[in-house]
Structure 1
Amino acid sequence: MHSYSDTAFGRLESAWDGHFRLRLADGTSVDLHLTDTTSAQVVRNLGEPYHDVTGRLAELLATPGRLVFAHGPVYPDGRRQATQVTFVGEGADEHVFERPDWWIDQVRELARFYRRAQFGTGEVDYADYRTQIRLGGDKNGRHVQETDTISRLVYGMASAYMLTGDEDFLTVADRGSRYLRDHMRFVDTDEDVTYWYHGVDVDGGRERKLFTSEFDDDYHAIPAYEQIYALAGLVQNYRVTGDPAIKADIDGTMRLFERFFADPVLGGYYSHIDPVTLSPHHDSLGANRSRKNWNSVGDHAPAYLFNLYLATGDERHLRMLEHTFDMIVSHFPDRDTPFVQERFHADWAPDRSWGWQQDRAVVGHNLKIAWNLTRMGAALPKYDYARLADRLADTMPDVGRDPLRGGWYDLVRRQAPHDFVWHDRKAWWQQEQAILAYLVLAGHRGDAGRLAHAREAQSFYNAFFLDHDEGGVYFNVLADGIPYLMGTERLKGSHSMSMYHSAELCYLATVYNGLLVRGEPLDLWFRPRADADFPDRSLRVAPDVLPAGRVRLEGVLVDGEPYRDFDADAMAVRLPDSAGPVTVRARLVPVERS
């Protein structure tokens, strides 16, 4: 007998005589049959034990409406057998990831995994840092330290501190920021700019600076995205501490963007510059000569610029955000396909022949544009921002989501029938973009349909991407949710993975599930220095760019004591004079809408 194993995911419709029916995401239904060896569990978080409910299977299948995963053989006649059933909650309307502590506990476990993998349990010394981390947390043999992956780790640790108040995580973030500045930074005093090395090769104990990118797509160039992600961790760390040295390097790097990557005539930012001339038009750049792309134009916003604006309230940063999103709504939409354009020539003509991308769509980039346009609409409402965010949110499920198993795909052809380019695997960062696309829209708009999409995406991520054996999250899973553990996709640390997307998801899912969807309070921690470089000496504690009037600052503790010098509506704390750093705990609460 020939069969194959597969997963089905949907809302429970009914159950009868050892069978049950699921309604799939596309509205169709599928029937499954149980056996006397079928097991059942509830989705569990990192750090939690296996939650067996096999003895309650009949009871849990008796209530329609709950989200259910069922895995097992599919027979040639179409029969589906459920050998393992996974519930997203025990209650009919329960979703485990909406517990107030779910994402906070998850980011705590993630931070512990990466802290242990990189530095053990002792002193935090970034000389020990390695880009590649194996599945269980062991280090790869090659001793390369990439700037962006250190920055991504710093981002994750700073975000973990904001949600937990665990000072060990902040220590990892602070020392990572200092290491970046001491080893990966170049200050060009002639041009008055700061830029960042690709990384450092410390093989054999000697430090060799890697000035230009080492990757095929960007070889011997300075790509914008590497400079962008060098700031991701630094800005999040600055948001917590106000470190003036970090702020100076942020400002220097932003001058680099405006002076050498920006197109002052047609707008946007070029994707690469020559390392000698700092020109985006030099022949040495080859296929990257005079090009713009999603990363160089749009990635400023989520990687660091929103967080920098939250920390400073600086109108310059708001104007840069506006320019970024104006370029996106002006040049990225495509009337002929459901997807945005992602690569362009200098004059904004679409480039459909570049490298691996060709005429192909990265599903996650389309979703990422949707949730960041929604955030931007809260800072500066524009019809075009909302229109494109809605269009992408409405069209992406039909071309990027798996309606049978749940979860979201990776790279597909932009032209119908939108076939897969390489495979039908699902990457952890694409799931993050799907979750946030619909969760942010649901939080800002109160849209039940968008919330349903967000819940389905959160279900798949939490059911299949959490590694309960080794810690951390998997890079990729197969279409049915089974971990894919081959090649670089087996790693927990790589050029692509270093706690950034997983921590960003934990942070923003906490903000939106709690404050905006469920109306629950949120505590955030900050550790401003005595010399914190915040405008007006005000610590801005807004958790994200949220709709006006929806959240207020209810109370503040400074070093554990109640503190009254704050603006509740502006969510700003006037910092006290102090001889050293102080711990600020801010409680944010939703404002009831009339």
Structure 2
Amino acid sequence: MAGTTGFSFSDTIAGYVVRFDSGARLLRLKTADGREFEVSLAGDPSAELVRNLDEPYIDASGHIDEMLSPGRFLFVYGVHYPERDGRFEAKRLVFLGRGAEDYRFEETGWWIKQIESLADFYKRAQFGDGPVDFTEYRTEIRLGGDKTASHVQETDTISRLVYGMASAYLLTGKDEYLEIAERGTEYLRKHMRVVDTEEDVVFWYHGISVDGDSERKLFTSEFSDDYDAIPMYEQIYALAGPIQTYRVTGDVRIKNDADATIRLFDKFFKDEEQGGYYSHIDPILFSPDHESLGENAERKNWNSVGDHAPAYLINLYLATGEQRYADFLEYTFDTIADRFPDYKNSPFVQERFFRDWSHDTAHSWQQNRAVVGHNLKIAWNLMRMNSLKAKPAYEELARKIGQIMPAVGSDVQRGGWYDVVERVKQGDEETYRFAWHDRKAWWQQEQAILAYLILNGTVGGDENLREARQAQAFYNTFFLDHDEGAVYFNVLASGTPYLLGTERLKGSHSMSMYHSAELCYLAAVYNNLLINGREMDFHFQPDPTDLPGRTLRVSPDLLPAGSVRIASVEIDEKPYEEFDADELTVHLPDVQGRVKVKVRLRPVNRK
């Protein structure tokens, strides 16, 4: 039997067109790190335009020659033949826009449409065509939206769904999304919240196990890293959805829960002597040093110190403007800027610590490894905080991370960002070895996109814009599931979806609607308001009597002072004039009951 001899493999190249020889059907591409590849188009590859969720396939196969203009960025998927002069034969081309300088994900409504599609997917998956009944909620959701046999409802994943729905309402004003956010918040308060009147705190169950009409409370975490303990990050993320809902509604009960949970953090997780917050406490004595915690005793990590800000604290400050939340944010970022950099030993931050802030390099799965997305997340959130209270340490560290990370954490040939790598090189190796695999997770792409968007939107820089565009291009080309809806958990290095184990799921302990919706919300804000100078609408639905002084605060994020102002306001679809355009506040009418508020924000030319 005849067969093909020689070694070959499929791969992807993300690059900028250097030249294209139409007659010879040869394309020269330059990757992000400056290497050039020759690609053969002799086999008549297909070509398409990148498309958003719920958009049809857009064929560009008949326009290949005219679209391959110098400088255009695109993806080429094909077959590499290393034993045949290293030839790369293209099989599929993906263009990012119709023109050479066009990127479709920079369209005004791109991310708004995407969050709508995400919300519709998760609404359908969790509640079908019936009423919004959270007794039907399940943590595990299959690829197409079906539920698994697991009947555990995890607090954090409900909260993350609530966050996504509240964010979708902020951008679209669709009542169906707010209904889910509010009912989910009520369900969390009724079923997952514990009010400890003696200690004057609130804490949250890991979840509940549902069996018919009965439910069993799961007090401690059942996740392997945190088993039989109360991890800080689960308490943090229990607040994420309710606080985003609070931004929309101003429901004072939510704020009271947040304040009581912060008292829990300060009373039982905070290290008053050495600073920072412990990662775990035991469920009996609420102690961070009990022997039952094993290797989690007296430990601090990125989640316990840094995750307050993006999960709930920035949004709590945006909704209230209260100085105590600003002080908490400052304490958080001062700690990060002081303790996390470790540039004498590694280009990556240190993420795990003992009580005295010495480095924990042997903990569980992490060992001395770097989570790429955590580095990027620090840069993104430092620049947010720098808009609230500017400090040289914040901007310097964010800029440094932005400059260092592409060479050590991104895939400079294919595009996209890696997962976990070794923090130090092994021997004489030139690269930082992958911990387990070279796959790319959806949430780490989010951190890269937001980090470079906000860096470009606040301090400028062509390199920051280029990194932001490349990250958005990879995410929108390879992570959107055009067959089943929503986004994939992981893709292979080449961009092919990885669909095994829990990474096949659209809902799990690690995935709900949080990161994908957060990306949509903030990518829309940064692209439109900070970078491209476009107006945006935001929607709220408060009861004026719930807000101090009937004042609604409408800043969409921590943005540079004076960069955005209110252009117009509507209340119940009628023009309304009582607002402070520069302070981003609306003075609501003296009425009982809820009002629908639509606020148009206009970017201010700061050049």
- Do the two structures share a fold, i.e. TM-score over 0.5? yes
1:138 to 146, 151, 172: 146
1:50 matched residue in structure 2: 57
**8 Å contact kept, 1:142–1:203:** no
State how far apart, in whole Å, the 1-side matches of 2:44 and 2:463 are: 36
1:14 to 19, 23, 26: 19
State how far apart, in whole Å, the 2-side matches of 1:461 and 1:214 are: 31
Q: Which amino acid aligns with 2:275?
A: G
SS at match of 1:21: strand
Does structure 1 residue 572 correspond to structure 2 residue 578? no
SS at match of 1:82: strand
Decide which moves more: 101-110 or 256-265. Answer: 256-265
User: Between the two proteins, what is the percent identity of the paired residues?
Assistant: 61
User: Per-residue displacement from partner, 1:434-456 (whole Å, max 9, x unpaired)?
Assistant: 11110110011122210100000
Does structure 1 residue 355 correspond to structure 2 residue 364? yes
Q: Which amino acid aligns with 2:402?
A: A
1:508 to 522, 533, 544: 522
User: 5+ residue gaps in structure 2?
Assistant: 426-430
The Cα shift of 1:576 comes to 1.5
Q: How does 1:158-177 map to 2 (within 5 A)?
A: 158-177=166-185
1:68 matched residue in structure 2: 74
User: 5+ residue gaps in structure 1?
Assistant: none
Does structure 1 residue 222 correspond to structure 2 residue 230? yes
State how far apart, in whole Å, the 1-side matches of 2:100 and 2:416 are: 21
Q: Which amino acid aligns with 2:387?
A: A
**8 Å contact kept, 1:262–1:268:** yes
1:551 to 564, 584, 603: 564
**8 Å contact kept, 2:544–2:551:** no
The Cα shift of 1:396 comes to 0.6
State how far apart, in whole Å, the 2-side matches of 1:191 and 1:531 are: 30
**8 Å contact kept, 1:243–1:531:** no
**8 Å contact kept, 1:152–1:232:** yes
The Cα shift of 1:36 comes to 4.1
The Cα shift of 1:529 comes to 2.3
2:373 matched residue in structure 1: 364
2:44 matched residue in structure 1: 37
Q: How does 1:191-340 map to 2 (within 5 A)?
A: 191-334=199-342, 335-340=344-349
User: Per-residue displacement from partner, 1:111-130 (whole Å, max 9, x unpaired)?
Assistant: 00000000012210000000
**8 Å contact kept, 2:270–2:278:** yes
SS at match of 1:264: coil
Q: Which amino acid aligns with 2:13?
A: A
State how far apart, in whole Å, the 1-side matches of 2:526 and 2:118 are: 20
**8 Å contact kept, 1:72–1:80:** yes
SS at match of 2:89: coil
State how far apart, in whole Å, the 2-side matches of 1:68 and 1:21 are: 12
State how far apart, in whole Å, the 2-side matches of 1:160 and 1:21 are: 41
The Cα shift of 1:176 comes to 0.2
The Cα shift of 1:216 comes to 1.6
Distance 1:530 1:574, change over 3 A: closer
1:398 matched residue in structure 2: 407
1:155 matched residue in structure 2: 163
Does structure 1 residue 582 correspond to structure 2 residue 589? no
**8 Å contact kept, 1:244–1:531:** no
The Cα shift of 1:98 comes to 0.2
State how far apart, in whole Å, the 2-side matches of 1:241 and 1:577 are: 16
State how far apart, in whole Å, the 2-side matches of 1:536 and 1:458 are: 41
SS at match of 1:202: strand
The Cα shift of 1:579 comes to 2.4
**8 Å contact kept, 1:66–1:89:** no
User: Per-residue displacement from partner, 1:282-311 (whole Å, max 9, x unpaired)?
Assistant: 111111111100000000000111111100
**8 Å contact kept, 1:410–1:424:** yes
1:5 matched residue in structure 2: 10
**8 Å contact kept, 1:144–1:203:** no
State how far apart, in whole Å, the 1-side matches of 2:73 and 2:172 are: 29
Does structure 1 residue 118 correspond to structure 2 residue 126? yes
Q: Which amino acid aligns with 2:257?
A: D
**8 Å contact kept, 1:25–1:403:** yes
Decide which moves more: 547-556 or 464-473. Answer: 547-556
**8 Å contact kept, 1:35–1:83:** no
SS at match of 2:239: helix
SS at match of 2:14: strand
State how far apart, in whole Å, the 1-side matches of 2:42 and 2:166 are: 47
2:428 matched residue in structure 1: none
Does structure 1 residue 407 correspond to structure 2 residue 421? no
State how far apart, in whole Å, the 2-side matches of 1:324 and 1:370 are: 14
**8 Å contact kept, 2:29–2:37:** yes
Q: Which amino acid aligns with 2:8?
A: S
1:389 to 394, 398, 416: 398
**8 Å contact kept, 1:154–1:172:** yes
The Cα shift of 1:167 comes to 0.7
User: Per-residue displacement from partner, 1:475-530 (whole Å, max 9, x unpaired)?
Assistant: 00000000000000000000011010000000000000001110000100011124
State how far apart, in whole Å, the 2-side matches of 1:537 and 1:186 are: 30
The alignment's TM-score, normalised by the length of structure 1, stands at: 0.99
The Cα shift of 1:266 comes to 1.5
Does structure 1 residue 463 correspond to structure 2 residue 477? yes
**8 Å contact kept, 1:538–1:572:** yes
The Cα shift of 1:531 comes to 3.7
SS at match of 1:237: helix
SS at match of 1:340: coil
2:186 matched residue in structure 1: 178
State how far apart, in whole Å, the 2-side matches of 1:428 and 1:136 are: 17
The Cα shift of 1:536 comes to 2.8
**8 Å contact kept, 2:45–2:91:** yes
State how far apart, in whole Å, the 1-side matches of 2:545 and 2:367 are: 49
Decide which moves more: 292-301 or 1-10. Answer: 1-10
Does structure 1 residue 495 correspond to structure 2 residue 500? no
2:540 matched residue in structure 1: 526
The alignment's TM-score, normalised by the length of structure 2, stands at: 0.97
1:88 matched residue in structure 2: 96
User: Per-residue displacement from partner, 1:159-188 (whole Å, max 9, x unpaired)?
Assistant: 000011111000000000000000000000
State how far apart, in whole Å, the 1-side matches of 2:556 and 2:255 are: 20
State how far apart, in whole Å, the 1-side matches of 2:445 and 2:475 are: 6
Figure out how many residues of one structure are paired with residues of the other and give that number. 592
**8 Å contact kept, 1:269–1:292:** yes
Decide which moves more: 229-238 or 29-38. Answer: 29-38
State how far apart, in whole Å, the 2-side matches of 1:136 and 1:578 are: 45
Q: Which amino acid aligns with 1:30?
A: F
State how far apart, in whole Å, the 2-side matches of 1:380 and 1:36 are: 56
State how far apart, in whole Å, the 2-side matches of 1:102 and 1:31 are: 33
The Cα shift of 1:535 comes to 3.4
2:494 matched residue in structure 1: 480
**8 Å contact kept, 2:544–2:550:** no
State how far apart, in whole Å, the 1-side matches of 2:346 and 2:300 are: 20
